[in-house]
Structure 1
Amino acid sequence: MKRNKEETNETIQRLLDIARTHFTVHGYAGAALESIVQEANLTRGAVYHHFRNKKELFRSVLEVVQQEVASRVEQEASTSEDVWQQLELGCRAFVLASVEDRNKRIMLIDGPSVLGAEEWRTMDANHSMRLLRGQFEIMQQGGFVKHASLDALTHFVSGALNEIALWLANGTVDENALEDTMHVISLGLEGFKA
């Protein structure tokens, strides 16, 4: 029984990895489920056993991307003991991870359009936004950040980070855009200091 579960998990992981590559290269609309099935060396029936349709497969891939980005945020923030530096490092890590080629199309472009803005925002709230809110809560309790609604503060900063990541992901910005972005993030966060 244990081996069957391991084989199932391996099959699902292989499908997710292959689908991620197809969604990255071709976008959701251009990725053919048949091509994913063939590359995974599976039948359509085997794929439908794990995922109802292409959209559900995409949702699972996006979930993986969201988890990876959140892990990067957490990992980067944990390299400092200073709460302000943790916040800044986490924000920078979010932007940098979001605009990587293997993430940006799935997370920033196709994610909201395929799943809808509300479902995409819920996924974001469960990952990176959850970490951001947790950091602000720690900072507010320690008196490091001005008193404000945690929800409003989190949505404000998260929205700015998502928008700036979208701008960078567009690819039509100049070569200094990433450096300018990091400077603006630092300036923006300074305004919340207590």
Structure 2
Amino acid sequence: MQERLERRTNRDRSEAMRALLIETARKLFAEKTYAETGTPEIVAAAGVTRGALYHHFADKEALFRAVAEHEAATVAAEIERAAPDGLGPREALLAGSQAYLEAMRAPGRTRLLLLDGPAVLGRAGMDEIDGRHGNRTLREGLAIAMRAGAMQRLPLAALTSQLAAAFDRAALAVDAGSAMADQMEVVTALIDGLMLDA
């Protein structure tokens, strides 16, 4: 029993350290960019040793990957919260789209996921992360709409990829000062153009 308690405590401590490093790095990467943030600055801001950083992450890129994964998971959770089961296919896609654009307004998030992410991890690396999170929610919503007969049947992977690219451009535009309402008007028109009963 004592050994199990110690193991859990060690695991909790390890998870807390990992979370601290991710949170600290996220703040610095968002404020200064990945390229302008060094690991000495991250460990100093977190109040830990370099050994602690390298115990959890092989290098700065691995830490950035964890930050990007955490951010993408947060965005996906917002989308899922906004589009619960029970909404019609069109309503779910629109609610998820709105939630995506809102979630991407978090300070620094567009830089982390849409600018630095592909630059640091490569397009394939970010596509892999997106495929587990935001693009997964979009793909699922589109598949549901097609199965329900509410949307044109199109190649799902290609449709997901192209709509996700449009949503990413909308998020970048909002981040640069474009009106959310303007971006959502276009997103709504894109989705309605695919619907069979819009």
Q: TM-score, normalised by structure 2?
A: 0.90
What is aligned with 1:61? 67
Q: TM-score, normalised by structure 1?
A: 0.92
Deviation (angstroms), 1:80: 6.0
Q: 1:131-156 CA distances to partner (integer Å, 9 max, x unpaired)? A: 11111111111111112221222122
Q: CA RMSD in A?
A: 1.5
Q: Is the 8 A contact 1:98 1:108 kept in 2?
A: no
Q: 1:2-35 CA distances to partner (integer Å, 9 max, x unpaired)? A: 1111111111111111111111111101112112
Query: 1:1-194 to 2 correspondence within 5 Å?
Result: 1-78=7-84, 81-169=87-175, 171=176, 173-174=177-178, 177-194=179-196
* In 2: Cα distance, 1:74 partner to 1:68 partner: 10
Gaps of 5+ in 2: 1-6
Gaps of 5+ in 1: none
Deviating beyond 4 angstroms after TM superposition, the runs of 4 or more aligned structure 1 residues are none
Q: How many residues align?
A: 190
* In 2: Cα distance, 1:43 partner to 1:153 partner: 46
* In 1: Cα distance, 2:120 partner to 2:183 partner: 27
